[in-house]
Structure 1
């Protein structure tokens, strides 16, 4: 890797670059867990005293190198929005994304740019900045910007962030075939009248011939259930509305965008321990069950009041019209059978990194 990326790796692993002195980028984005959390917490714990629960579930940092910046304009329709990093797309580059957790009081909680710059200057690798950057940082802001750029270089250059070595990649390369359940699962995945996953998570090669990221880079309002275990949700008036706030503020007046979150890629989805922006679900099978029954059996997923199910209970009633009703949702969609759901999960497990030629399929997927 370049000197800049090598510096980025040191920064990525450095716990001293946090208010608590105990949290690094790798703490929530562990390389051994597909650069995602190493635990099953709905949200991670940070802050200067290591006692602040996060607002959203920590994502994997893999396969972000091709997402690109947010393309929205004041006149953009939600179906046309693409790109951006973070669940609400508010970061336009990997460097901008890296910058945000450093100053989030629920995460690494550096009190100011000056505080982080002081920690960077005191790091054992501080001299590597002079090797990685042609121009020495003249002030605190420039130094922090350089650190963010070093993290971006790491994510772009280090192939551990995008190994493209899943079974699905081997199938695309013609080196192996899917098992029968995996192949049937791909058919369910692509069926427009069935799971219809491919409408948002295309399994096709990109226009430049690159392996698929299994995302259309867009946004969806899925109306996942409210996670009552989150500390922020103890306030009944709190709502995480994605594109229109609270973390993103430039689109706050666009009520038609409320409830929309970035469509993530599905690589390593079977390795996750919690799912969706609020970490409300804890298994891939549960997620697929939700997609299959959200509108058919809403009482299974949403809270109740006065004996009535509160439909889409993490959204204000005035915004229910924003919720996605395209298959597999809505009354018109075909309900998937238990076998189809099992096959679909088998296919999704082929998207996990680290496949070894000749390795058996996941249990039940042979």
Structure 2
């Protein structure tokens, strides 16, 4: 009888876990779409936000590309980070929230202050409505841009203890906005959270399989490289991570008791130059070899051009920067073990070739 009771309790726990309702914001996004796919694969109910319901079919198409064919556990609601409209409905009955939606450096903002204010207000809006609805935990998608920017003379890998140096006058506005937005989120949890839990994920450059022609800005360099648009690369080092591993880290941070109140760098721990990326693509896709660069732009040349070319300004702030990172915390606390950077980069390119985003023509 006792054994039967324990079995029933175990089945009930598993059933309840699979039926938990998870909100994912910004469903059209690269990271968000992979998070939704993994949540559905694990049996969760997902309520996804989109800026416009006209994007629902796009999201379903992306999820189909990711291997999802049953949408019975998926629902959509229109919500925007810039307004309170519908957010009460978004959060109603939710157990957890994946706060993924955010602004990206696309030039849609009039100035740096507007970008920062939008990012900060968006985080606070999600957290406020999650708290008021009794959500257990929010997993915030932050960025490496809130960890490792604006530092000079760095020689040891960046960890979750590090914060981007806001006193650096050369800090790019986008990185500043990501840093201030995450600071604001943690401050809200501490002063107004009323028991709401939070964990933050800080990905380095996100690669991996794209699911549609509308993909993350971090993947643009792969398109540009394979298309022959980059005759020479800047002297920029970066960490890279597969989007599928970023998604799995979000899921681990959602439920692990150890993740509450913690930040996690989503990184393989490897550091690659842009020439390293080009060489990986050259070896994996020899048919594109003639289009891929073999030389590096001198730092002074890039910085000089950035003075008159707005598109190069952010890039100029990254030239020559130390970019080593550690993933020890995520591996140790959450038993998270990502793919290699090489595998992530190759998967990005292969998906773009398969979808016809890049061609030899």
Same fold (TM over 0.5): no
When you count strand as a share of all residues, which structure comes out higher? 2
Structure with a larger share of its residues in helix: 2
Q: TM-score, normalised by structure 2?
A: 0.29
Query: TM-score when scaled to structure 1?
Result: 0.29
- More RCO (CA 8 Å, sep 6+): 1
